[in-house]
Chain A
Amino acid sequence: KAGVTQTPRYLIKTRGQQVTLSCSPISGHRSVSWYQQTPGQGLQFLFEYFSETQRNKGNFPGRFSGRQFSNSRSEMNVSTLELGDSALYLCASSFETGIGYTFGSGTRLTVV
């Protein structure tokens, strides 16, 4: 059974640019959540999608957005990148909200 796949694994972007990250959940999983992981703040919740609808949203600025497609694949977008956006972005999928999250290996974003 394939796990959660995140692409790309690594990204280097310049301040002011925008970036799109992709997440393919485990087959059959309808819930996809995104977390930002940094050494100082740990794992912080960005948003959750369930059956193409945003179900929950964390306390991040509007520059962070996401969406989910009919096949449950999800993308998150960060516009007008700032140095502080450098982090590991993790996607997690589950059949129902939150229970038994399976995380992907993440996308390491570096903003220079």
Chain B
Amino acid sequence: QQQVKQSPQSLIVQKGGISIINCAYENTAFDYFPWYQQFPGKGPALLIAIRPDVSEKKEGRFTISFNKSAKQFSLHIMDSQPGDSATYFCAAQAGNTPLVFGKGTRLSVIA
């Protein structure tokens, strides 16, 4: 059973455009929702994270939107750049339990 469902699997965006990746979860005990960015040959790196007491968090060009009632959260990358081309993973965690990851979205930003 997949606890965190991520979509789309792959995404192509024009340079300067907005990239949007969505995740949905079922476990209402989840209380921490990070996003990770992974480049080829590297491990995932923490990008931005949110807790359910806020509906939005912004760091530079990256924004997490969180909808607690719908049990959904999304990553928005504004002004997408070719250097943003990577695989993005959403994740969720309940208390001290391990992080549960979505299956990833491969983002390609083309000039």
Chain A residues in contact with chain B, CB under 8 A?
A: 4, 33, 35, 41-43, 45, 48, 55-56, 58, 90, 92, 96-106
A104 to B43, CA, bound (A): 5
Q: Which chain A residues border B78 with CB–CB below 8 Å?
A: none
* B83 close to chain A: CB less than 8 A: no
A103 to B36, CA, bound (A): 10
Chain B residues in contact with chain A, CB under 8 A?
A: 32, 34, 36, 41-46, 89, 93, 96-104
B43 touches A56 (CB 8 A): no
A92 to B44, CA, bound (A): 9
Interface of B is mostly: loop
Which A residue sits closest to B101, measured CB to CB? A43
Which A residue sits closest to B91, measured CB to CB? A43
Q: Which chain B residues border A42 with CB–CB below 8 Å?
A: 89, 101-104
In angstroms, how far is the closest chain B Cβ from the Cβ of A60? 12
A4 touches B43 (CB 8 A): yes
Q: Which chain A residues border B97 with CB–CB below 8 Å?
A: 56, 98
A98 touches B101 (CB 8 A): no
A48 touches B98 (CB 8 A): yes
CB within 8 A of B96: which of A90, A98, A104? A98
Query: Can you report 28 A-B residue pairs in the complex whose CB atoms are below 8 A from each other?
Result: A33-B99, A35-B101, A41-B103, A42-B89, A42-B103, A42-B104, A43-B44, A45-B98, A45-B99, A55-B96, A56-B97, A56-B98, A58-B98, A90-B43, A96-B96, A98-B32, A98-B93, A98-B97, A99-B32, A101-B34, A102-B46, A103-B44, A103-B45, A104-B43, A105-B41, A105-B42, A105-B43, A106-B43
